[in-house]
């Protein structure tokens, strides 16, 4: 706009000068002087800078234009005749559907097989592994077999592992258990706790050791109870001295009970003493994956020391490792006195010490032959030291039977050879 205004002004000025020149000529003004004035004015006009002004604000957007016309539909890859319909002849793969799977081409030819790899590495690996196995077997043969419980090996949880502490946070063990959530570790310090304890959630209940964390039961059947049917699976009870109460039933109650259908229970590093006429521990039917290790089970005129019941069905894989069975048993109708009575299958009974006195009928009564009884000291004077009354052979090799003639200490089909010729060392 500025450039246009300047141009108009210049034209107007030239017109006025031309008019003046014409008028001056009639008045006798020299023409050259007027022409010089025109040149001066022309120079002034030429020197004017026509710089544009600043950019104005943008105007409002215009309205959208109308949509264009839709394009034509594309062709499906399977539509061989371009008619837009799924024709039977277009079902190339014969699966009764006309779809993208019919667009796949035929398989190409297989590629040539690669070169065979070298077997040198595999052979060297096998040789190395065989040498390693042989070395481990030699090492195992030189290590002494130690049987029985070793309570001194117990390591209580570190402080930072304890979620609940008794009695510093809760006065009783049961209160600590009730406050715990699944997966918690309840740590019990030294002291005597006169209570019965029920565990119905998956926790780790850890004492300060069997010499200092003592639970005195209050009723004949249930100083410790672990719920069954999945309520307390994978619970651990460790590091306690547990005392039962004198039994009121001729069949014998138990201070330590595990409900039926439990899984993953671990009982370790405890000393469990039965009350008069009690059996220390009973696990009801249908247990699975239970580990019982490094415990002392002490009878007190007991009908049994540990029973894995089979009333509602057999259990699976209940292992007894490095336990000590001691104290007294006696025959109490209708059951015969036994140290270990198990209705579990596929279990390992290994490196235990059986040193029971009294009227012992059977030391190890295995209802099923799929268990393995190995490296135990069967030192008790018993009518039968290992027996099974189901079909099949029970493997009971490498045990010390108390003498060099195990044949008079078995009942049922028992494979007892080879056997130890002297007692294993014990903790």
Q: Binning pLDDT at 50, 70 and 90, where does residue 19 land?
A: very low
Q: Binning pLDDT at 50, 70 and 90, where does residue 336 land?
A: low
Percentage of the chain modeled with pLDDT above 70: 82
Write out the residue range of the structural domain in which residue 185 sits: 151-426
The answer to the question of residue 130 being in a domain is no
Q: Answer whether residue 387 shows pLDDT above 80.
A: yes
Q: Binning pLDDT at 50, 70 and 90, where does residue 294 land?
A: very high
The first and second tokens of residue 153, run together, are 């090996």
The answer to the question of residue 95 being in a domain is no
b or e along 83-106 (b: 16 or more beta carbons within 10 Å of the residue's beta carbon)? eeeeeeebbeeeeeebeeebeeee
Task: Work out the average pLDDT over 208-212.
Answer: 97
The answer to the question of residue 79 being in a domain is no
CA distance 253 to 280: 8
The answer to the question of residue 198 being in a domain is yes
Number of domains in the chain: 1
Q: Binning pLDDT at 50, 70 and 90, where does residue 386 land?
A: very high
8 Å CB contact between 372 and 348:
yes
CA distance 276 to 245: 7
The answer to the question of residue 284 being in a domain is yes
The answer to the question of residue 389 being in a domain is yes
Q: Answer whether residue 1 shows pLDDT above 60.
A: no
Q: Binning pLDDT at 50, 70 and 90, where does residue 138 land?
A: confident
pLDDT digits (tens, 9 = 90+) for 81-121: 878 788 877 777 777 777 777 776 666 777 788 776 555 55
pTM for the whole structure: 0.69
CA distance 386 to 408: 10
The answer to the question of residue 361 being in a domain is yes
The answer to the question of residue 392 being in a domain is yes
Question: For residues 111 and 368, which has the higher predicted lDDT (pLDDT)?
Answer: 368
Q: What CATH number should be reported for the domain holding residue 183?
A: 2.160.20
Enumerate residues 6+ apart whose C-beta is below 8 A from 192: 214, 216
């Amino acid at each position: 706009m500025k450039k246009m205004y300047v141009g108009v002004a210049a034209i107007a000025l030239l017109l006025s000068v031309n008019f003046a020149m014409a008028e001056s000529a009639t008045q006798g003004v020299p023409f050259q002087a007027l022409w010089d004035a025109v040149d001066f004015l022309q120079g002034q006009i030429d020197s004017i800078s026509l710089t544009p002004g600043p950019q104005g604000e943008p105007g409002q957007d215009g309205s959208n234009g109308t949509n264009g016309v839709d394009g034509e539909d594309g062709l499906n890859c399977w539509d061989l005749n371009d008619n837009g319909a799924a024709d039977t002849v277009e079902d190339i793969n014969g699966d009764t559907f006309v779809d993208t799977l019919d667009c796949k081409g035929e398989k190409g030819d297989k590629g040539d097989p690669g070169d065979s790899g070298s077997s040198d590495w595999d052979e060297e690996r096998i040789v190395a592994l065989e040498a390693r196995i042989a070395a481990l077997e030699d090492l195992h043969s030189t290590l002494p077999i130690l049987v029985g419980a070793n309570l001194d090996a117990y390591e209580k949880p570190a402080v930072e592992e304890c979620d609940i502490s008794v009695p510093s946070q809760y006065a009783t063990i049961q209160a600590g258990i009730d406050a715990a959530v699944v997966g918690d570790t309840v740590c019990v310090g030294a002291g005597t706790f006169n209570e019965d304890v029920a565990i119905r959630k998956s926790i780790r209940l850890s004492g300060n050791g069997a010499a200092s964390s003592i639970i005195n039961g209050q009723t004949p059947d249930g100083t410790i109870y672990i719920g069954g049917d999945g309520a307390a699976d994978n619970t651990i009870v460790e590091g306690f001295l547990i005392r039962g109460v004198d039994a009121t039933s001729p069949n014998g109650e138990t201070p330590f009970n595990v409900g039926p259908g439990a899984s993953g229970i671990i009982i370790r590093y405890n000393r469990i003493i039965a009350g008069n006429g009690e059996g220390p521990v009973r696990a009801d039917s249908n247990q699975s994956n239970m580990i019982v290790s490094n415990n002392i089970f002490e009878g007190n005129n007991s009908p049994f020391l540990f029973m894995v019941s089979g009333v509602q069905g057999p259990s699976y894989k209940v292992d007894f490792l490095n336990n000590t069975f001691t104290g007294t048993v006696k025959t109490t109708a209708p059951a015969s006195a036994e140290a270990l009575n198990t209705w579990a299958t596929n279990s390992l009974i290994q490196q235990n010490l059986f040193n029971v006195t009294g009227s012992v009928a059977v030391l190890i009564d295995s209802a099923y032959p799929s268990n393995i009884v190995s490296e135990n000291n069967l030192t008790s004077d018993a009518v039968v030291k290992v027996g099974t009354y189901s079909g099949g052979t029970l493997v009971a090799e490498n045990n010390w039977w108390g003498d060099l003639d195990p044949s008079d200490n078995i009942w049922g089909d028992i494979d007892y050879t080879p056997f130890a010729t002297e007692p294993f060392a014990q903790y």
